[in-house]
Structures are given as C-alpha cells and as structure tokens.
Amino acid sequence: MNMKVTKGALDWYKEELDLETGDHVRFFVRYGGCSNVQKGFSLGILKDLPMNIGTSTEVEGITFFIEESDLWY
C-alpha cells in the first residue's frame, strides 16, 4: 500500500492540526460513523506517535502513517 499526501492536503492538515516538522499524523479505523468502505466504520485522524507502522509517507518533515492493525480498512 502506498500513501500520497498532496500539497493541498498537507496545507489543510498543517492548519487544522497545528502541525510542525517532526509531527506524526495517524489515520485509523473508528467504530461508527458513515463510510462507503466498510459499513459501521469510518476514518479517524489523530496527531499521534507510531507504535507499529504498516505504511507511511513523509512530506515536509511530517510523517503520515497507518498502523499495521488498521491496514485492513
């Protein structure tokens, strides 16, 4: 699995999460919400430190990642 963060997305995340160089952004599975991917689950976003990265990408010193346990989503 490959991750790509566009310049527009990077700018939005930096502003909304007050991100700085060296920060980490985790995408994770949330129970509940609305999604076309898997009924009853939705995407969560959190400024967090990684434990067991399944996939990641770094853009302008900010690491975006998904933990191995959430790759199924």
pLDDT of residue 20: 96
Question: Of 24-28, 34-38, 47-51, 60-64, which range is least confident?
Answer: 34-38
Backbone CA torsion sign across 34, 39, 41, 45: negative
pLDDT of residue 70: 80
pLDDT of residue 66: 92
Mean pLDDT of 59-67: 96
Distance CA 10, CA 24 (A): 12
Q: Could you tell me the pTM of the whole model? A: 0.82
DSSP string, 31-63: ESS--SSSTTEEEEEEE---SSEEEEEEETTEE
pLDDT of residue 69: 86
Q: Higher confidence at residue 72 or residue 17?
A: 17
